[in-house]
A and B are shown apart, each in its own frame.
Chain A
Amino acid sequence: MENFMKPWPWYVSGPLITLVMLILIYFGKTFGMSSNLKTLCSIGGAGKYSDFFKFDWKTHRWNLVVVLGAIIGGFLAVQFLSDSSPINLSTHTIEDLETLGFQDPGKALLPSEIFSWDVVLSFKGIAILIIAGFLVGFGTRYAGGCTSGHAIYGLSNLQKPSLIAVVGFFIGGLIMTHFVLPLIFTT
Chain B
Amino acid sequence: MKFLKYLLVGILFGIVLVKSEAVSWYRIFEMFKFQSFHMYGIIGSSVSLGILFIWLIKKLGIRSIKGEKIETVPKEKGLTRNLLGGAIFGLGWALAGTCPGPMFVLVGTGFFSMLIVIAAAILGTFVYGVLKDKLPH
On chain A, the residues within 8 Å of B94 by CB distance are 172-174, 176-177, 181
Q: Name the prevailing secondary structure of the A interface residues.
A: helix
Counted as pairs of residues, one from A and one from B, with CB atoms less than 8 Å apart, the total is: 489
Is the pair A40, B109 in contact by a Cβ cutoff of 8 Å? no
Is the pair B66, A28 in contact by a Cβ cutoff of 8 Å? yes
Task: Kindly identify, within residues 102 to 121 of chain A, every residue whose CB is under 8 Å from any CB belonging to chain B.
Answer: 105-106, 109-111, 114-117, 120
Mask: chain A, 13-27; 1 = CB below 8 Å from B; 0 = not: 111111111111111
On chain B, the residues within 8 Å of A133 by CB distance are 92, 96, 103, 116-121, 123-124
Q: How large is the interface on B (under 10, 10 to 19, 20 to 34, 35 or more residues)?
A: 35 or more
Is the pair A17, B90 in contact by a Cβ cutoff of 8 Å? no
Mask: chain A, 47-81; 1 = CB below 8 Å from B; 0 = not: 00110110000000111011111111111111001
On chain B, the residues within 8 Å of A18 by CB distance are 45-46, 49-50, 53
Compute how far the CA of A115 lies from the CA of B101 in the bound complex, rounded to whole angstroms.
Answer: 17
Compute how far the CA of A162 lies from the CA of B22 in the bound complex, rounded to whole angstroms.
Answer: 20
Find B87's partner among A49, A139, A146, A177 (CB 8 Å cutoff): A139
Task: Kindly identify, within residues 93 to 134 of chain B, every residue whose CB is under 8 Å from any CB belonging to chain A.
Answer: 93-101, 103-111, 113-114, 116-130, 132
On chain A, the residues within 8 Å of B44 by CB distance are 14
Is the pair A139, B89 in contact by a Cβ cutoff of 8 Å? yes
A74 to chain B, nearest CB (A): 3
On chain A, the residues within 8 Å of B92 by CB distance are 131-139, 172
Find A81's partner among B19, B23, B43 (CB 8 Å cutoff): B19
Is the pair B95, A155 in contact by a Cβ cutoff of 8 Å? no
Find B38's partner among A10, A111, A144 (CB 8 Å cutoff): A10
CB-CB under 8 A for A33 and B86, given A38-B129, A142-B81: no
- A24, A33, A70 — which one has the most chain B CB atoms within 10 A of its CB? A70
Find B6's partner among A27, A90, A111, A159 (CB 8 Å cutoff): A27
Residue B8 at the chain A interface, CB threshold 8 Å:
yes
Task: Kindly identify, within residues 42 to 67 of chain B, every residue whose CB is under 8 Å from any CB belonging to chain A.
Answer: 42-47, 49-51, 53-54, 57, 62, 64-66
Is the pair A139, B124 in contact by a Cβ cutoff of 8 Å? yes
On chain B, the residues within 8 Å of A36 by CB distance are 100, 104
Residues of A bordering B, CB below 8 Å: 7-28, 30, 33-34, 36-38, 40-41, 44, 46, 49-50, 52-53, 61-63, 65-78, 81-82, 87, 89-90, 92-93, 96-97, 105-106, 109-111, 114-117, 120, 126, 128-162, 164-178, 180-181
A and B contact pairs by CB, cutoff 8 A, 8 listed? A97-B26, A154-B75, A155-B47, A165-B75, A168-B87, A175-B91, A177-B32, A181-B29
If A69-B13, A109-B24 are given as contacts, then 8 extra A-B residue pairs at C-beta distance below 8 Å, sorted by A number, are A73-B13, A74-B18, A130-B116, A133-B96, A136-B89, A139-B88, A141-B85, A159-B72
